[in-house]
Chains A and B, each alone.
Chain A
Amino acid sequence: MSLHSGRMHGGGIVKENGAVSLADLRDGQEGSVVALRGGHGLVGRMAALGFTVGATVRIVRNPGRGPIIVSVLDTQIALGRGQADHVLVRRP
């Protein structure tokens, strides 16, 4: 299942309208969340941590492999690459 601010759209970690996976941003880059993918469980958990459509995120650390650190809602969250790929963002 995939969840979007408005309509549903196809699976896969495809970039759409210039949106990229959160794991594709580099250190210090900012983005705005456009969609969250995954089941209700993951989306609910991510939402509770501040990853919601429209939220501004900033990459604190992305070493290229392994988990990344993202700043969202004044908190730093470590995310596995798998989970980061479920967050689609658009660069400002």
Chain B
Amino acid sequence: MTQAPAVDEPRPPTQKAKSITIALAGQPNVGKSTVFNILTGLNQHVGNWPGKTVERRMGHLEHHGVGIDIIDLPGTYCLTANSPEETITRDFVIFEQPDVVMVVINASSLERNLYLVTELLALHRPMVIGLNMMDVARQEGYEIQPEELSAAIGAPVVPMVASRGQGVHELLDAAIAVAEQGEPQELNRPEIRPDHETVLVQVQKIIARHVPAPYPADWVALKLLEGDAEITDLMELHLTPEAWSLVQDLLREHEDAIIAVAGGRYEWISRMARAALVRPRVGHVTLTQRLDKAATHPFWGLLVLSGVLAIIFGLTYAIGGPLQEWVEETGIEIISGWVLSLLAWAPEWFQALIADGVIGGVGAMLTFLPILVIFFACMGIMEDVGYMARAAYVMDRFMHSIGLHGKSFMPLFLGFGCNVPAVMGARILETRRNRLLTIMLAPLVPCTARLAVLTVLAQIFFPGNAILVTWLLTGLPLVVLALSGVVIRLLFLRGEQSAFIMEMPLYHLPNRRTIGLTVWQRTLSFLRKAGTVILAVSVVVWALATLPHGEIDTSYLATLGRGLEPVGQLMGLDWRSMVAILTSFIAKENAVATLGVLYGVGEGARGLGDVLAGQFTAASGLAFLVIQMLFIPCVATLAVIRQETDSWKWVLVNILFLGVLALGGGIIAYQIANLVL
């Protein structure tokens, strides 16, 4: 770029008592969410960017009579068009023209973080910089002078420790001051490295009058040199064929211009750093280095990971288990008793609808809420502390062999508790391909509900070998998961290697507020979106199981089950088992209860075990369990798959994939077992 320092295009002066739009930008791991949460509190709206599956968070606040809208842009390292997050960030700044761009940078890796600042400077919006994590920087031995940095760049720089709330409001004040001042900022912008200055000027000249508004022309020229696909297409459309071929010739001749552009940015960065940064003495061993000696070691790292996982499981059983039991046994009873007493006037069918259909569905949702909250919290803590990246690093070797990314490990692991956080956890993955693959495979991780069904029924079907069967059948879906990963990689993703590039953030103490808000928002968004779907489906299934005569034996569901009997016969299962499999769609643990009802448990003195043991052979019992372990996930999981992929197509793909897999697996298990046993 040629103008440094340059003057911004004049902007219509902001009138008083108007609202100000602030775009909050920053690289990942800079504490941007903490800043956003402190500024907006619970007054924020979480949704998706239109047409994208990237989370969009907006918040509103009033400050000294000024209405302020803050848009939390996705965390990005740069502003290429290589990921939806990067496109969203730059498009927002270009098209929405926010009054101020508020960039949060991490003081402990100042130079790397300034890279995004250089990219944002090129978009010609007023800017303020939040120099966050000053405490971590100090702890790592860096000394930074914010005033020097501010003087060098030409934009306010506010030192902050956002995790302790320090500096955040000063940053807001600075942003408001910049938005309200009539004078444009005089910002010092980077220039391209001298060896490519001529070609930049040449490109600028050719495109000058053809760049569509509101794109800044000098930025477009830079992006052309960087080989930006989106901008290249844009300019091909807006230039005459002759002009375009001139540009193309220049670009082809200077294919390596991207290095010069990046080099120019780093030259600017080192000028800034020279003014403001004092590095630690050589040989200074930091806390992160000490912890990573174990945490990223090929052997000890796995041991540390096992320890962390053990703690998560321990917590789940120690806190989640009892809570879940209480909700199941006492909580639901209290609610339904209370609701029914209110509904004493209503007809019997309506009471049944509410008690069995609605409360049944809500109950299923509430029972796994404790586990959900614990897992969301564990995810949040590990991410905030910085451990998530270490877990991804040590597991990448293994995950890579089944076509997944190291970062997929944690979400998939959470699936052992409940598939819902596994699917939602896939958000931490960068590319849509990785997210989709992880989401599609997540239901193959056996959740606690499935394991409970397995444990109960294995004891009934295989009294002598229950433990062996339980182990084998727990392993089965995991083996299928790995094989599916390999097959999908070989069939559909041939040669498409997923790049593993990941920052290992410095460890730091978790921030309660950030984690609390994350847990709160995820739980709320789950309840809101999945809740309605679960409720609707559970009422529908209740109706199918009740209508037309009020008996499940003669219900539409039973008719459906009888219709499926031909398939069932291939694995020795009658219609009752097929119905049990269908009702497990609401919640996996329903399978046992349905079997109990349909086989008339409780009508004699015989318990579930005696009744079922008489109805199933070893082979058909095995087939039933195989289906249970591989079948379509519960409705809650499907609802979040819909939410996270933003498409019904992938829900359908998942149903077909797992439905075929489960039935096929059941048939094979039955036929082989009949031959062997």
Given contacts A74-B111, A80-B499, A83-B499, contact A44 B298 (CB under 8 A): no
Given contacts A44-B80, A44-B226, A49-B112, contact A75 B503 (CB under 8 A): yes
Residues of A within 8 A of B77 (CB): 45, 48-49
Instruction: Compute how far the CA of A79 lies from the CA of B504 in the bound complex, rounded to whole angstroms.
Output: 10
- Confirm or deny: B287 has a beta carbon within 8 angstroms of a beta carbon on chain A: no
Return A75 CB to nearest CB of chain B, in Å: 4
Residues of A within 8 A of B443 (CB): none
Question: Using a CB–CB distance below 8 Å, which chain A residues touch chain B?
Answer: 1, 3-5, 8, 36, 40-50, 52-55, 60-61, 63, 65-67, 69, 72-80, 82-83
Interface string of B209-240 (1 = CB under 8 A from A): 00000000000000000111100000000000
Number of interface residues of B (CB under 8 A): 43
Residues of A within 8 A of B397 (CB): 65-67
Residues of A within 8 A of B499 (CB): 42, 45, 80, 82-83
Given contacts A8-B255, A52-B263, contact A79 B82 (CB under 8 A): no
Residues of A within 8 A of B503 (CB): 49, 75-78
Of chain A, the residue at the smallest CB distance from B390 is: A78
- Confirm or deny: B108 has a beta carbon within 8 angstroms of a beta carbon on chain A: yes
A61 pairs with B296, CB closer than 8 A: yes
Return B423 CB to nearest CB of chain A, in Å: 25
B298 pairs with A66, CB closer than 8 A: yes
A78 pairs with B111, CB closer than 8 A: no
Please name 10 further chain A to chain B contacts, defined as beta carbons within 8 Å, in addition to the given A52-B262, A66-B397, sorted by A numbering: A40-B229, A43-B258, A44-B258, A53-B259, A66-B400, A73-B111, A76-B292, A80-B499, A80-B501, A83-B500
Instruction: Compute how far the CA of A4 lies from the CA of B257 in the bound complex, rounded to whole angstroms.
Output: 10
Partner of A77, one of B288, B396, B502: B502
Can you list 12 A-B pairs, Cβ within 8 angstroms, ordered by A? A42-B499, A44-B262, A45-B78, A45-B501, A48-B77, A48-B78, A48-B115, A49-B503, A55-B266, A67-B396, A69-B292, A79-B500
A50 pairs with B501, CB closer than 8 A: no
Return B140 CB to nearest CB of chain A, in Å: 8
Residues of A within 8 A of B115 (CB): 47-48, 50
Question: Using a CB–CB distance below 8 Å, which chain B residues touch chain A?
Answer: 77-78, 80, 82, 108-112, 115-116, 142, 226-229, 255-256, 258-259, 262-263, 266, 279, 288, 292, 296-298, 389, 392-393, 396-397, 400, 406, 497, 499-504
Residues of A within 8 A of B297 (CB): 61
Instruction: Compute how far the CA of A14 lies from the CA of B464 in the bound complex, rounded to whole angstroms.
Output: 61
Given contacts A36-B259, A44-B80, A67-B406, contact A74 B112 (CB under 8 A): yes
Given contacts A48-B115, A49-B77, A82-B497, contact A74 B256 (CB under 8 A): no
B298 pairs with A53, CB closer than 8 A: no
Partner of B110, one of A3, A74, A83: A74
A73 pairs with B112, CB closer than 8 A: yes
Lowest 3 CB-CB distances: which A-B pairs, in order?
Answer: A80-B500, A40-B227, A48-B78
Of chain B, the residue at the smallest CB distance from A66 is: B397
Partner of A3, one of B78, B228, B256, B502: B256
A63 pairs with B298, CB closer than 8 A: yes
B258 pairs with A46, CB closer than 8 A: no
Residues of A within 8 A of B110 (CB): 74
Return B349 CB to nearest CB of chain A, in Å: 60
Of chain B, the residue at the smallest CB distance from A38 is: B499
Given contacts A3-B255, A53-B259, A74-B110, contact A66 B396 (CB under 8 A): yes
Of chain B, the residue at the smallest CB distance from A61 is: B296
Instruction: Compute how far the CA of A46 lies from the CA of B115 in the bound complex, rounded to whole angstroms.
Output: 12
Given contacts A66-B397, A67-B396, A79-B501, contact A73 B226 (CB under 8 A): no
A78 pairs with B393, CB closer than 8 A: yes
A45 pairs with B111, CB closer than 8 A: no
Residues of B within 8 A of A55 (CB): 266
B78 pairs with A78, CB closer than 8 A: no
Return A74 CB to nearest CB of chain B, in Å: 5
Of chain B, the residue at the smallest CB distance from A4 is: B256
A67 pairs with B255, CB closer than 8 A: no
Residues of B within 8 A of A69 (CB): 292, 296, 393, 504
